[in-house]
Amino acid sequence: MSAPNQEGAPFRAGMIALCGRPNVGKSTLLNALMGADLAVASRLPQTTRERLLGLWSTDEFQAVLVDTPGIHRARSPLNRFMVDEAVRGATGVDLVLLLAEAPMLTDIELAEAWEPGEGALAALATVVETGAPVVLVLTKIDRLKQRDLLLPVIARWAALHDFAAVLPVSALQDEGLAELRTIVTGALPESPPLYDVEALSDRDMRWHAGERVREAIFRHLKDELPYSCAVTIESFKEQRKPPKDVIRANVHVERESQKPMVIGAAGRTIRKISMDARSAIAELTGRSCDLFLKVTVTKNWTKDPELMARLGYHQPVGGES
Ligand SMILES: Nc1nc2c(ncn2[C@@H]2O[C@H](COP(=O)(O)OP(=O)(O)OP(=O)(O)O)[C@@H](O)[C@H]2O)c(=O)[nH]1
Ligand SMILES: [Mg+2]
């Protein structure tokens, strides 16, 4: 039994996974629900590579929000790792939020004929297999001119699965989030906290710092280049006087030819990446920071599970969840 809070109600805690195809807005929604910029989001698909737990704790409950990589047809070892992480993130949770973009439809005929795509159906099949109740969250509704065109879309989705609820939201415009928070907290079983109630996530600041560098890479590099980059933190020192973090990180690329593209003419690109990442890290830690980036070639790392593991992309071994 968990200890009752002041009102005498027992404490509740549970896991809520955010799942769906790449780019549907999972990380943005996690940040909006948490009211903190924890998860890296970008305009490019396949931004999130690893499971991240966002810990939303109050005196009454702890909701462990699980951000997951997008579910997609994986070809490379890195992509297979990502999809495995997504499945791991959705397994054993109390509720899955299946996110799908609200389609941008312009007339009722199109809306009535609308069908979810293959990728969205595959994501649905994957989360249904976990056996957890599923809430369908239709995202980015701020982009829609005519909201009533969502009704036939909702009806089509509802015919595919017995969803616990269907909810249209906009994470960026704070629409539907109060309802979603009610659904999330309502799904938490009676339980003591699962994680430290003071912590915001299950990852340490080193990991978050690496993610901020990756976020800046996704913002400043073009085409396939962000997908060839990984970031490792070589050292993270908390200096006392004056108080600041001194961070040295490696940006790994797959091929020699990619190195000058990441560095840019006269180092301009890597400087932009560094400046963006530095201010994002400072915002997260509340301390100033010095960030030193080095670009390293780790040949074909996305295709080699051993190299991937060395760069941090490995599933836990043994019974660890
Ligand atoms: N207009 C609008 N855009 C949104 C909203 N939520 C997310 N986006 C945008 O959608 C893009 C993808 O968002 P992410 O949160 O990175 O999506 P994701 O599902 O985590 O993507 P992966 O990690 O790549 O699978 C970003 O450009 C976001 O700004 C929203 O409510 N409205
Ligand atoms: Mg994401």
Q: How far is the CA of 52 from the centre of ligand 2 (A)?
A: 10
Residues 20 and 141 in one domain: yes
Structural domain ending residue among the three candidates 152, 186, 220: 186
For the Cβ of 174 lying below 6 angstroms from any atom of ligand 1, the answer is no
* Host domain of residue 113: 12-186
Distances (CA, A) of 94 to 3, 21, 65, 188, 238: 20, 20, 11, 7, 38
Residues 76 and 164 in one domain: yes
Cα–Cα distance between 133 and 73 in angstroms, integer? 24
**Alpha-carbon dihedral angle through residues 139, 145, 147, 148, given to the nearest 10 degrees:** -140
Indicate which residue's Cα is closest to atom 11 of ligand 1.
43
For the Cβ of 25 lying below 6 angstroms from any atom of ligand 1, the answer is yes
pLDDT tens, per residue, the chain with 321 residues: 455 666 688 999 999 999 999 999 999 999 999 999 999 999 999 999 999 999 999 999 999 999 999 999 999 999 999 999 999 999 999 999 999 999 999 999 999 999 999 999 999 999 999 999 999 999 999 999 999 999 999 999 999 999 999 999 999 999 999 999 999 999 999 999 999 999 999 999 999 999 999 999 999 999 999 999 999 999 999 999 889 999 999 999 999 999 999 999 999 999 999 999 999 999 999 999 999 999 999 999 999 999 999 999 997 765 444
Residues 48 and 156 in one domain: yes
In a domain? residue 254:
yes
For the Cβ of 26 lying below 6 angstroms from any atom of ligand 1, the answer is yes
Structural domain ending residue among the three candidates 186, 219, 239: 186
User: How high is the pLDDT of residue 301?
Assistant: 98
Cα–Cα distance between 85 and 95 in angstroms, integer? 17
Cα–Cα distance between 170 and 177 in angstroms, integer? 8
Residues 159 and 218 in one domain: no
User: How high is the pLDDT of residue 316?
Assistant: 74
Q: How far is the CA of 226 from the centre of ligand 1 (A)?
A: 17
Residues 157 and 302 in one domain: no
User: How high is the pLDDT of residue 315?
Assistant: 78
How many domains is the chain built from?
2
Which ranges in 91-191 belong to alpha helices (H)? 108-113, 118-129, 150-158, 177-186
In a domain? residue 169:
yes
For the Cβ of 250 lying below 6 angstroms from any atom of ligand 1, the answer is no
Instruction: From 102, 34, 30, 103, select the one nearest 69 (Cα to Cα).
Output: 30
Q: How far is the CA of 10 from the centre of ligand 2 (A)?
A: 33
Residues 111 and 219 in one domain: no
User: How high is the pLDDT of residue 8?
Assistant: 81
Q: Which atom of ligand 1 is nearest to the CA of 28?
A: 15
Residues 145 and 216 in one domain: no
For the Cβ of 171 lying below 6 angstroms from any atom of ligand 1, the answer is yes
For the Cβ of 201 lying below 6 angstroms from any atom of ligand 1, the answer is no
Instruction: From 144, 258, 257, 262, select the one nearest 213 (Cα to Cα).
Output: 262
| CATH code of the domain containing 300 | 3.30.300.20
For the Cβ of 180 lying below 6 angstroms from any atom of ligand 1, the answer is no
Residues 55 and 177 in one domain: yes
Ligand sitting nearest the alpha carbon of 123: 1
User: How high is the pLDDT of residue 320?
Assistant: 47
Ligand sitting nearest the alpha carbon of 23: 1
For the Cβ of 140 lying below 6 angstroms from any atom of ligand 1, the answer is yes
| CATH code of the domain containing 92 | 3.40.50.300
